[in-house]
Structure 1
Amino acid sequence: MRRLLLPVSLGLSLFATAQKTGNPASFAKSITAEDMKRHLYIIAGAEMEGRDTPSPGLEKAADYIENHFKSLGLLPGNNGSYRQTYPLYKDSMTSATLKVNGTGFTLTKDFQPQLSMSHTSELRFSEVVFAGYGIVDGELDAYKDLNVRGKLVMIVDGAPATYKPTTQGFNSPAGMPAKVAKAQEKGAAAVLVVYGNFPRNTFNASGNYNMNGYPASVYPQTFSISSSVAATILGLTGTNVIDKMKAEPIAPAVYKANIDMGFTKTTLTASASNVIAVLEGTDKKDEYIFLTSHYDHVGKRPDGTIYYGADDDGSGTTGILELAEAFAKAKAAGKGPRRTVVFMTVSGEEKGLWGSAYYANHPIFPLEKTSVDLNIDMIGRIGEEYLKDKDSANFVYIIGDDKLSTDLTPITDAANKNVKLKLDRKYNDLNDRNRFYYRSDHYNFAEKGVPIIFYFNGVHADYHRPTDTPDKINYPLMAKRGQLVFYTAWEMANRNEMLKRDLKLDKPKGF
């Protein structure tokens, strides 16, 4: 019985809130398909060149967003600035050498440094510790009875045929990153990884941008090597070592050889920014409602092909622009929200949730006073699962509203009475193979304990392709989804209490 009463009482609460702050319907209606189309054709236009992080196109998009916020009279969100800037670092190799017993080997033909794991150094070793596949997982321990602290370790790519990893994907103990991390944990100074795909055609001496310019610790110096280099070091044991390991594991052992490993690199520093604007609240202005999206995408190819990113996430960015306008109109009409609403478009999402991670670790507004983050990432299309569904033009995925706060679901359901979308919660399952809950910027808020909701339309044939263009957007549906976020944010900005934080987030294994 109480379960039936809850939506009714919440609906009365929404009505009471509306009586105090004005009817939100007129402001919600300002979120229109026409305005969204106008914004998105600019944000996802050719001039923005795919909005890579960092890039001139990204800066043009940031300027457009900032100017829109200014035109609405919103306050700058970072101590007088609309930008929260964070540094980026890009390593480029200038030289690399590998010698065994005085004999030099050739880059790409015989060896390649792992650029992201290596650092400027000249190392010399008189022996190498062979540790098989280098896997530590359950009962399998490649380092059992081995002392590798301060030593050079050699491991082989791959895994035993009968091995079943306890964790799949990038975090699998059989993956090269996990193997090197385990060698680091064991104290190895350097690692040689034997691969069967030598000689290689090319080596990109320039790495990708990253945020970790000052790591707390460094990986062991890590080189990939050919089977012939392994044979030079291990002798007869190392001949066809990859095939031998498949047939019968080679026992761990220490092999004598004089090995020189040299590597130098230079680092280029750049920056990117989150664009943040604030609409100050009234009697609860020291509490905050965050509305977020990412305005970056994946840029363009060397041949000039642009990845426009209209849905991902030009649609969410356009949603933030329209939400900002709706709230600004409410305030101009004397019906502004009680809590402060923060509109934040972040960069670097496609690289690894960079911008939101930087904000979560360098918050401008107290996270303990941040009631919620409503994050919009892809709301302009019909996902592949709904292409033939009767609700194809009237749905949205709601992700995360059953986590961290029991307030989220009833508020969402009550707000949806205004727009009547089908709310699909299938991706609330943390064990879903897509793991969408972890793949957008809300997650960096959730990890800090801030309740979140993620609005999403599902993937489609143009996802992360140059064909994700503004002409394929369903603008009426996009506007309706934006209105749902507005009604939800309106209630959360005007209710008497912040959202409860009464649920624990249990992560699946591997996170």
Structure 2
Amino acid sequence: MLRPLLLSTIAVAMLAACQREAAPPAAETAAPPPAAAPAASAHAFDPAIRAEDFAELVKTLSSDEFEGRGPGSPGEDKTVEYIKAQYERLGLKPGNGDSYFQTVPMTETTADPATTTLKIDANGKPYDLKFGTDMVVGTRTGQKEVKIDGSDLVFVGYGVNAPEQKWNDYAGVDVKGKTVVMFVNDPGFHTQDESLFEGKRMTYYGRWTYKFEEAARQGAAAAIIVHDTDGASYGWEVVRGSWSGAQFDLRAADDPAPRLPAQGWITADAAKKLFADAGLDLAAEYKAANKRGFKAKPLNAKLSLDLKSAVTEKQSRNVIGVLPGSKRPDEAIVYMAHWDHLGKHPDEPGDNIYNGAIDNATGVAGIIEVAGAFAAQEPKPERSVVFLAVTLEESGLLGSKYYVAHPTFPLNKTVGVVNIDAMSVAGKTRDITVVGFGSSELEDILKPIADKQGRKLHAETHPEAGGFFRSDHFNFAKAGVPALYVDGGNDLVEGGVAAGEAAGKDYGDNRYHKPADQYDAATWKLDGTMDDLTAVYDVGRELAGSDKWPNWYKGNAFKAARDEMMQAKPAQ
């Protein structure tokens, strides 16, 4: 979903799962009848990490034949069968009992833009907001129709309730049955005030997923986020593209997190008009919301919504392969990438297949290449190595969330996680970006590996994008398992930092979550990509051949969960 170099201009659901003693029952995880996989390629794969093999995998996964790898679509069937075939080619064992698949039950909800209406009445001035142009809205409840009639609008700043920060935007206001309007990102972001939260660096409170969940906990009828490109770290077209078409959620039975009847976004222009009609100045409210002691304000406006959706119960699949350890097979290192993307948008003219070559065919190709290296490794890994291709990342990290709730290796036997999401194809770099730098002792293992490559570790250059909270490793982190999410760096050998920033801006502006994210043999430079894969392979090789149990650094928010799970009795 996000990579700090290529998505430097672009900016998860919260994890409520705790460690389980066993995988879900067989009836829950049995795969549906498989679809015919695409014809086998004549490409001759090599066990070593190799650019030609990587390119072949990406080219296939991001081809039009895979239809944008939409969960629950024919493209999913082709994708998961292809990944399974690669695991079998490498000699990996099924990672979920006798199956390579872990079924993830899901609800597919598709709002109907033609019949969905959202009306605002501000100070007696009624008007409509147009779906896609002025707003996007949806529901996670599974209801085919959501009606809201004359709900009072309340401006709640950033919509944050953070006791440890002594900050509560809901203090003194009852929003039950009302519609809350809020800004994206954190208090302090727009002023860059380092005394508020983490200033420029986004915390989890800045993520839209948190804001909607908190609004649900407060009893709101609906929640609307005001879009701004800097705060979200992506433009309105990304919001429109991501929130139109089919939206996926875990079933309520599998995800007890609170849900709103309706949630969505409005454009900055729509917000400016709303606030002006309510007698407020939007720019002034940004300043007010960034100050301690902010008080929520009624907007003297009402919202009415008639949201019509098609709702279907479906299922998707995680794909899991494992290379059993030679000495301690009950302990595992996990390599993870999400296979899903945005599928097809038949209502859009022209090219409407969202191929997702960088996001995230590169990550899936990456874990397959690393799996090949482990399979050929001598001596064999002493610990098991798991290769986990998860679904529904683009829908809020749901496939990884489900796995963490139903792990095939107990979490207190999971040594660490290496996540690969949207790899750099911009060429060799002098550095390696560690998203969430300074988080865990996995960085201590990576550093000497980077040193040998002549590269330096550093934090992401755009921490305001909140990258640590926007990819699948975050679910493992919330549960306490140390996780490493690295990127190709920003200082290109050819062109330096300026070239790296330019590559990021070009991708963010022109290809991210767009049909143009396609494999491009003419422009991709895979020598740097191979350096990145070699580095993450070496991290796992070090862990798989040792008895190390890396932890989060002292003071990290996830360390307590790890300490607690490691003190518990080993799972049987």
TM-score, normalized by the shorter chain, greater than 0.5: yes
CA distance in 2, matches of 1:224, 1:455: 30
Call closer, same or farther: CA 1:438–1:242 in 2, change over 3 Å: same
CA distance in 1, matches of 2:51, 2:299: 68
Listed one character per residue, the Cα deviations across residues 223-271 of structure 1 (whole Å, up to 9, x for unaligned) are 999xxxxxxxxxxxx994346899999x9789999x9876654412333
CA distance in 1, matches of 2:225, 2:365: 46
Call closer, same or farther: CA 1:129–1:498 in 2, change over 3 Å: same
Call closer, same or farther: CA 1:107–1:99 in 2, change over 3 Å: closer
AA matched with 1:209: Q
What is aligned with 1:12?
A: none
Call closer, same or farther: CA 1:424–1:293 in 2, change over 3 Å: farther
8 A Cα contact 1:396 1:422, kept in partner: no
- Map 1:29-48 onto structure 2 (within 5 A): 30-48=48-66
Listed one character per residue, the Cα deviations across residues 354-397 of structure 1 (whole Å, up to 9, x for unaligned) are 3222212221111111111122234452279x5xxxx4xxx543
Listed one character per residue, the Cα deviations across residues 142-175 of structure 1 (whole Å, up to 9, x for unaligned) are 87766x47555687999xxxx9695789989999
What is aligned with 2:260?
A: 219
What is aligned with 1:11?
A: none
Listed one character per residue, the Cα deviations across residues 463-483 of structure 1 (whole Å, up to 9, x for unaligned) are 361154241333343333323
What is aligned with 1:482?
A: 533
- Map 1:228-243 onto structure 2 (within 5 A): 240-242=277-279
Q: Secondary structure at the match of 2:464?
A: coil
Q: Is 1:447 aligned to residue 478 of structure 2? A: yes
CA distance in 2, matches of 1:191, 1:300: 28
Match among 80, 85, 91 for residue 67 of structure 1: 85
The share of aligned pairs that are identical, in percent, is 27
Q: Secondary structure at the match of 2:479?
A: coil
CA distance in 2, matches of 1:142, 1:451: 32
| Residue ranges of structure 1 left out of the alignment (5+ in a row) | 1-27, 196-202, 226-237
AA matched with 1:286: D
Q: Is 1:209 aligned to residue 247 of structure 2? A: yes
Q: CA deviation at 1:32?
A: 2.1
Call closer, same or farther: CA 1:107–1:206 in 2, change over 3 Å: farther
Q: Is 1:293 aligned to residue 311 of structure 2? A: no
CA distance in 1, matches of 2:311, 2:207: 27
What is aligned with 1:281?
A: 325
Q: Is 1:358 aligned to residue 402 of structure 2? A: yes
Match among 139, 150, 153 for residue 116 of structure 1: 139
Q: Is 1:422 aligned to residue 470 of structure 2? A: no
What is aligned with 2:103?
A: 85
Match among 307, 327, 336 for residue 374 of structure 2: 327
CA distance in 1, matches of 2:51, 2:180: 59
What is aligned with 1:376?
A: 420
CA distance in 2, matches of 1:278, 1:357: 19
What is aligned with 1:20?
A: none
What is aligned with 1:491?
A: 542
- Map 1:88-107 onto structure 2 (within 5 A): 88-91=106-109, 92=111
CA distance in 2, matches of 1:358, 1:221: 23
AA matched with 2:100: Y
Q: Secondary structure at the match of 1:426?
A: strand
Q: Secondary structure at the match of 2:314?
A: strand
CA distance in 1, matches of 2:223, 2:419: 41
AA matched with 1:457: G
8 A Cα contact 2:202 2:464, kept in partner: no
8 A Cα contact 1:401 1:409, kept in partner: no
Q: CA deviation at 1:411?
A: 5.6
Q: Secondary structure at the match of 1:463?
A: helix
Match among 365, 376, 380 for residue 336 of structure 1: 380
| Residue ranges of structure 2 left out of the alignment (5+ in a row) | 1-45, 185-189, 228-239, 267-274, 289-295, 490-499, 559-572
Call closer, same or farther: CA 1:289–1:398 in 2, change over 3 Å: same
Q: Secondary structure at the match of 1:274?
A: strand
8 A Cα contact 1:90 1:207, kept in partner: no
Q: Secondary structure at the match of 1:349?
A: coil
Q: CA deviation at 1:286?
A: 0.6
CA distance in 2, matches of 1:212, 1:455: 28
Q: Secondary structure at the match of 1:404?
A: coil
8 A Cα contact 1:339 1:493, kept in partner: yes
User: TM-score, normalization: structure 1?
Assistant: 0.67
- Map 1:112-261 onto structure 2 (within 5 A): 114-116=137-139, 120=145, 131=154, 148=174, 152=178, 186-188=218-220, 208-214=246-252, 216-219=257-260, 240-242=277-279
CA distance in 1, matches of 2:50, 2:311: 46
8 A Cα contact 1:378 1:455, kept in partner: no
Call closer, same or farther: CA 1:220–1:173 in 2, change over 3 Å: farther
Call closer, same or farther: CA 1:35–1:145 in 2, change over 3 Å: closer
Q: CA deviation at 1:54?
A: 4.4
Q: CA deviation at 1:74?
A: 1.4
Which stretch shows the higher mean deviation, 283-292 or 469-478? 469-478
8 A Cα contact 1:404 1:505, kept in partner: no
Q: Secondary structure at the match of 2:534?
A: helix
CA distance in 2, matches of 1:244, 1:99: 17
Q: Is 1:409 aligned to residue 444 of structure 2? A: yes
Which stretch shows the higher mean deviation, 128-137 or 477-486? 128-137
AA matched with 2:481: V
What is aligned with 2:492?
A: none
CA distance in 1, matches of 2:94, 2:104: 17
Q: Kindly indicate whether structure 1 or structure 2 has the higher relative contact order, using CA contacts under 8 Å at least 6 residues apart.
A: 2
The count of aligned residue pairs is 441
CA distance in 1, matches of 2:208, 2:539: 44
What is aligned with 2:311?
A: 267
